[in-house]
Amino acid sequence: MIIWTEHVKPYEELLKEVASRFEKANRTFKSQLGYAPIETLKTRIKSEASAKEKLERKGLSFDKKGLAKITDIVGIRVICKFIDDVPEIMGLIKSWEKPKFRNALDKFVVDQVEVVEEQDHIDNPKESGYRSYHVVCRAKDLFFEVQIRTIAMDFWASTEHMLKYKYGGDLPQEIREKLKSIADIGSTLDLAMNDIRQDVKIGTTKSRLLEQFDKAVGILEKSGLSFKAENYKARLAAAADDLEALKSLAIQAKEDVPPGLWRE
């Protein structure tokens, strides 16, 4: 007999582990690139009723064998600002496929995640208009599902889900048509926002480089190297509108800081 609260315990542990990996990676993206692709992380463990409904639909029984075939007991939604963030997140998940070894109590533990299925409902939206990128993964012997989507796609999907609930699962034709055209508007919005993403990226990179430059110049001034600081300041105007030149100037200034004075 299955006691749901007991059955899902290892899944709850897995959910915590995967969610914390996403959160940690997002912090690393932010500190290294100045931009965090994950806007929100939504997680859930499937309810017993939903698992039973799915098993019945698939002609499987409510036992360990049947439940082992359900790949979305753990569900994680990764919501991003821009469409171009989706492959970024996919790349992150794929990086977990490489075996990681953790030395715990002199034992090497394989800490690996395998991608078992990908469904691209962004390039190939569902009939309803639904858009999202679905990934089924396996960690040890447990599956989990990740849905990667933009804020606009998530807004659409949660509203459509709410309406379906309200109409008892069967939406009237007129509402379905409206939702489909709203999904297309959402897609146009996503593509337009994606176009300006490059500008956002350039903006954040530039401000990060300027921060690094100012910090280096400040240290040079404080450590009696004002002539170097003045020289860098004089060169800044010529480099300010050229990202590559600014990058090279910021690196040079940082490298000129006497050893031991740079603190991250």
Instruction: Give the interface with ligand 0O2 as residue ranges (CB under 6 A).
Output: 50, 54, 72, 75, 119, 126, 128, 130, 134, 157, 160-161
CB of 86 to ligand 0O2, least distance (A): 15
Nearest by Cα to 137 from 71, 90, 79: 71
Of 159 and 198, which has the nearer Cβ to ligand 0O2?
159
Burial 74-101 (b: 16+ CB within 10 A, else e): bbbbbbbbbbbbbebbbebbeebeeeee
CB of 60 to ligand 0O2, least distance (A): 11
Question: Distance between CA 220 and CA 207 in Å, rounded?
Answer: 20
CB of 163 to ligand 0O2, least distance (A): 9
Of 164 and 233, which has the nearer Cβ to ligand 0O2?
164
Of 35 and 130, which has the nearer Cβ to ligand 0O2?
130
Of 96 and 130, which has the nearer Cβ to ligand 0O2?
130
Of 83 and 183, which has the nearer Cβ to ligand 0O2?
183
**Rounded-to-5 percentages of helix, strand, coil across the chain:** 55, 20, 25
CB of 128 to ligand 0O2, least distance (A): 4
At 155, which helix (H) or strand (E)? helix 151-166
How many CB atoms are located within 10 Å of the residue 51 CB?
21
CB of 231 to ligand 0O2, least distance (A): 58
145 has which bridge partners?
75, 136
Tokens of 26: 């997002």
